[in-house]
């Protein structure tokens, strides 16, 4: 596997379900990100991890819970979501979380539908 | 005012045309600028960084105007494969680095 992978690619869940999104990067990067992309809106940064420590959390509801067990893996645990949480969830990684030049490499995303 | 603003388009152009997009940013602490490309139902990918002196990569030219706080992307000799959404990305420093994506400009190149 190369680059950034995400599973599952598609997920349909009810509002009472608990599910997790998984991201894995094979690039040797130290920073990983979760973004939410809704139709016709800019990517919204949700969480940033640098060297496995959370360095940014942009006022995301607590029904989204990230976990970064090591620098290659990132999870997003979901529970009691709302229909408006339906979106494409993109994971990205970069060499580090700081620095002016910070090319981010994105995974293919998980398309989430909350019923 | 949005931190990064783009014309959503869509821009519909014939093959071979030249097309230009602008992107404005509101925070003067912005330090780095990028154009990403996102194909339909795919992830964003870096197209090119934007340097102060302007830079060119084949048919693509990027310019930065710090005084007016905008960046531009020019595509010459458009190809069908250029059809995509082009995301303007700004990286700024406010005690720590922060990356902000624009909502994107959609481009359709037609035969």
A106 and B31: CB-CB below 8 Å? no
Question: How do residues A20-57 score in pLDDT, each as one tens digit?
Answer: 999 999 999 999 999 999 987 889 999 999 877 777 76
> How much is the pLDDT for B92?
86
B103 and A56: CB-CB below 8 Å? no
- Does the structure show a pLDDT above 80 at A100? no
| CA nearest to A89, candidates A75, A79, A102 | A75
pLDDT, average across residues B21-34: 92
Mean pLDDT of chain A: 91
Cβ contacts of A53 on chain B, cutoff 8 Å = none
> How much is the pLDDT for B94?
80
Structure tokens at A25: 């990067």
What DSSP designation does A71 have?
T
The per-residue b/e assignment along A4-22, b for 16 or more CB within 10 angstroms, e otherwise, is bebeeeebebeeeeebebb
């Amino acid at each position: 596997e190369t680059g950034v992978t995400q599973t599952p690619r598609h997920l349909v869940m009810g509002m009472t379900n608990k599910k997790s999104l998984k991201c894995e990067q094979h690039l040797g990067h130290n920073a990983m990100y979760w973004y939410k992309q809704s139709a016709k809106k800019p990517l919204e940064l949700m969480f940033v991890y640098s060297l496995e420590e959370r360095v940014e959390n942009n006022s995301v509801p607590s029904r989204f819970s990230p976990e970064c067990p090591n620098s290659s893996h990132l999870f997003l645990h979901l529970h009691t979501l709302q229909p408006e949480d339906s979106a494409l969830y993109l994971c990205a990684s970069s060499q580090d979380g700081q620095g002016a030049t910070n090319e981010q490499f994105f995974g293919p995303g998980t398309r989430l539908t909350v019923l | 005012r949005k931190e990064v603003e783009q014309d959503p388009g869509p821009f519909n152009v014939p093959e071979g045309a030249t097309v230009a997009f602008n992107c404005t940013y509101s925070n003067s602490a912005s330090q780095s600028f990028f154009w990403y490309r996102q194909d339909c139902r795919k992830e964003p990918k870096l197209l090119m960084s934007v340097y102060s002196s302007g830079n060119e990569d084949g048919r693509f030219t990027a310019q930065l105007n710090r005084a007016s706080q905008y960046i531009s992307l020019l595509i010459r000799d458009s190809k069908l494969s250029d059809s995509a959404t082009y995301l303007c990305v700004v990286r700024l420093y406010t005690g720590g680095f922060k990356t902000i994506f624009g909502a994107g400009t959609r481009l359709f190149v037609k035969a």
